[in-house]
Amino acid sequence: MIITGGSIITDQGPTRADVHFEGSRITDIIAPGELAGSSEIIDAGGLLVLPGGIDAHTHFGMPLGNGISSLGWRESSEAALLGGTTTIIDFANPAVGEPLPQAVARWRDMADGNILCDYGLHTTVTDVSADRLAEIPALVQKGIATFKGFLAYKGRLMLDPREMKLLMEAVRKSGAMLLVHAEDGEMNAAAEETLLNTGRTGPNWHPLAHPDESEEKAVAEVLALAEETGCPLTIVHMSLAGSLKLLKNARVNRDDNSILVGEVCLHHLFADSGLYKAGHGAALAAICSPPLRTAGNCADLLAGLVNGDLDFLSTDHCEFSLAAKSAAAAGGFPRVPNGCGGVGERMVVSHTLAVATGKMTLARWIETCCRRPAELMGLKDRKGQLAPGFDADIVLFDPTAEYRWEPLGSSDRAGSLWTGLPVTGRVRDVWLRGRQVVAGGKLTLDQPGGEFLPRHL
Ligand SMILES: [Zn+2]
């Protein structure tokens, strides 16, 4: 098959080229019109031809243990494909006492046969006993290249600094990378207690249970631990200009062998804490952790993503309907499930608010949404680029379409941060490993065809 007449994105910007693929792989990127013959031709005139998006941070169908789960694997992956993302990396979360391989197997059971896009799994570690840490090397061999630890969520997921250090040492030894949720669980718990003791239980108070100082303290702490242990580190969902500054300084001072990576998520770039003051529903929809921050932070984070201080753009997609959040809110804001949707929005919303506004080049956009997350997360030979030998994950994108955003697939309209946003750019067609899965903005597949991706750093 040949996609002809479109433009691929190179470092020089949009460049006319034809993309040739056979079966599941890209075979050639060639000058326009050079190869004809018997191939099937797809006309991409006026469109951008992009590599399928890579969202390295999602929570599809995540059970919370109280009968509530985030939007499921099928539904979330439907939004992903319709939004131009062909690969996601989700988190397998072990139950208390559960061996890590068992948690991974449980997550694969939930995903396989339901997921429409390709996926990998990070594995969360909340128990640093010798038994659990000993399970890490075998998982790395099976393609779980990344683990996650929390400094947040006291009494549930939180590791103290001593435990975090043990985890980092185990992860480094096995050749993997650690992802860290950097907020200080003690500080958040104390802030939450004060709020509840003084009757401040509405959703508008949620951000006050996640003070800026809490994130900055945890970021500083985990950067120091990374230096001490030499463990490759990604700080996920960085939400503050102050955190970014700490990362930047640590990179300046690092020795050559350390790997320090910063992830930012869509809602921390383009939605701000004003939503917590915009009424009950808006505040509920905006409940996520870390919370939305002030607009000044958003602007600094976007500048950081543009100039390379931040490495890639994810979503932390973890969608709950507004109805589910509302029902839980009766018990006070701490009961409200944390999370926002975004996997379907990431490409179009970032194109609208970063590229079409002239703040980010097309080349940097594709780098942060496709190539870098693939390279950093162990998919560098297969995903995130339009190049010979890579999977034929291809998106035809109309950069001129203008309309108001509607959540994709069965995403919840009322609970979305993006409903009604005037956007520029539309995903028209998508191929996953050479198979067309979206045509004219509609799903065309009959069977869930997503595959588990072993990842190796
Ligand atoms: Zn997350």
124 CA distance to ligand 1 middle (Å): 10
Q: How many C-beta atoms lie closer than 10 Å to residue 184's C-beta?
A: 24
Judged against a pLDDT cut of 80, whether residue 431 lies above it is answered with yes
The pLDDT of residue 23 is: 95
**What's the mean per-residue pLDDT of the chain?**
95
Confidence at residue 64, expressed as pLDDT on a 0 to 100 scale? 87
Least confident of 103-107, 152-156, 198-202, 271-275: 152-156
pLDDT at 38 over 90: no
Q: Cα of 258 to ligand 1 centre, how many Å? A: 24
How is residue 313 written in tokens? Answer: 């753009």
The order of strands in the sheet holding 442-443 is 13-16, 7-10, 48-51, 394-404, 422-432, 435-439, 442-443
Tell how far the Cα of 62 is from the centroid of ligand 1, in angstroms.
10
- Two tokens at 273? 């804490």
CA of 162 to the centre of ligand 1 (A): 23
The per-residue pLDDT for range 329-338, each reduced to its tens digit, is 999 999 999 9
What is the distance in A from the centroid of ligand 1 to the CA of 265? 10
pLDDT in tens, 63-111: 987 788 999 999 999 999 999 999 999 999 999 999 999 999 999 999 9
- Distance from the CA of 179 to the center of ligand 1, in angstroms? 10
DSSP reduced 3-state for 330: coil
- The CA distances from residue 3 to 32, 33, 312, 323, in Å, are 10, 10, 27, 43
Calculate how far, in angstroms, residue 78's C-alpha sits from the geometric centre of ligand 1: 19
Q: Which residues contact 61 (CB under 8 A, 6 or more apart)?
A: 69, 70, 71, 72, 73, 76, 110, 111, 114
| pLDDT tens digits along 135-172 | 999 999 999 999 999 999 888 898 999 999 999 999 99
List CB contacts of 430: < 8 A, sequence separation 6 or more: 52, 81, 82, 84, 86, 394, 395, 396, 436, 437, 438
The residue type of 45 is: G
**Cα 317 to ligand 1 centre (Å):** 7
Check whether 35 has a pLDDT greater than 80.
no
Ligand 1 center from residue 56 Cα (angstroms): 10
Q: What is the DSSP string of 87-127?
A: EEEEEE-PPTT--HHHHHHHHHHHHTTT-SSEEEEEEE---
Could you give phi then psi for residue 312, rounded to 5 degrees? Answer: -155, 165
Measured in Å, residue 331 CA sits from the centre of ligand 1 at 23
Contacts of 245 (CB under 8 A, 6+ apart): none
Please say if the pLDDT value at position 44 is more than 90: yes
Residue 255 pLDDT grade (very low, low, confident, very high; cuts 50, 70, 90): low
Domain 52-376 of CATH type 3.40.50.720: no
3-class SS shares of the chain: helix, strand, coil, % to 5: 35, 25, 40
- pLDDT attached to residue 253: 78
Q: Which residue has the tokens 């006291």?
A: 154
CATH 2.30.40.10 in the chain: give the residue spans. 2-49+389-443
> In angstroms, what is the span from residue 58 Cα to ligand 1's centroid?
6
pLDDT at 449 over 80: yes
The pair of structure tokens assigned to 438 is: 């979206």
Where residue 32 falls among pLDDT bands split at 50, 70, 90?
Answer: confident
CATH of domain 2-49+389-443: 2.30.40.10
**CA 118 to ligand 1 centroid distance, Å:** 18
Q: Ligand 1 centre and the CA of 429: distance in Å?
A: 28
Ligand 1 centroid–CA 340 distance in Å is 10
> Which residues in the chain are classed under CATH 3.20.20.140?
52-376
Distance CA 222, CA 226 (A): 6
Q: Are strands 48-51 and 53-58 parallel, antiparallel or unpaired?
A: unpaired
- Count the Cβ atoms, other than its own, within 10 Å of residue 154: 17
Report CA(169)–ligand 1 centroid distance (Å): 22
